[in-house]
Amino acid sequence: MDTAALPVIELRQVTKTYGRGLAAMQALAGVDLVIAAGEFVAVMGPSGSGKSTCMNIIGCLDTPTTGSYLFQGVAVENLSRDQRALLRRNYLGFVFQGFNLLARTTALENVELPLIYRGDAAEARHRRAREALAAVGLAGWEDHTPSELSGGQQQRVAIARAIVTQPAVLLADEPTGNLDTARSREIMDILTRLNREQGITIVMVTHEPDMAAYARRTVHFRDGLVVPEHETPAEGGAR
C-alpha cells in the first residue's frame, strides 16, 4: 500500500460516548475529518464541543465508541494497546499548554526522554536531542534546567522533545495558552517553520483566532460535530 497517497488522519463517523444509560454523555456525534500529510490544521470550538475528545482519539489516548480512525490507512481501533503505544511513540509528537518538563532535568535530558523510552543508544540520543534543540533556537541552552528558562524557552524545549523522534504528526493542545503575545508569536513561528521546512503535519487546538490564523486550515467543532465549512466564520489567512 502506498501510504504517501493516503490521508495521514481520517475519521469516519466517529462517535464517543462516556457513561451509560441516563448518565451517558455523547462527546462526539459522528465526526468526519480528513487531514492530509503536511497540513497545518487549527481546531477550534467552545468548551464541550468535542475538540479535546477528538484530539485524544487522534493521539491514540482514547478510542472511538463507534466509527473508524485511520492513520495512514491503518484502522487504529483494530490495534492492540501495545500497538497503539508504538504508534504514539514512533509517529506522534505531543505539545501541551503546560510544558510538562522534568524540573531537575536539563533541557537536553528532557528532550532525550522519548528516545530513552524507545531504546536508542546514548550517542544517537545526545546528537538528535542537540539537533532538535537547535531546530527550535536553543543551541547552547542544553545544560539549563526549566527553572533557568523563560516560559517561551520551556515551550521550545517541549517542542524539541516532541520532534526529536521525527514524528509524522505533531499534536499541539493550546501550545501558547501560558505565554504572552510576543512569546506566543515566537512559538507559532517555530511551528510554522517545522511544518513548512520539515513537512511535519500539525494539528493544533486553540481558542485564539490570531493563533489559528497561522494554520493553513481551521476546523470548527460544535455539539460533537465538525461544523461544515460554509457555516464557519471567516478567518484570517495563513501567515
- What is the pLDDT, as a whole number, of residue 100? 92
**This model's pTM is above 0.85:** yes
For the chain, what are the domain ranges? 38-64+80-231
**Domain range 38-64+80-231, CATH class:** alpha beta
- pLDDT at res. 104: 93
What's residue 5's pLDDT? 73
- What nine digits make up the cell of 184? 506566543
**Which residue ranges of the chain lie beneath pLDDT 70?**
1-4, 230-239
- pLDDT given at position 3: 56
The pLDDT, as a whole number, for residue 239 is: 43
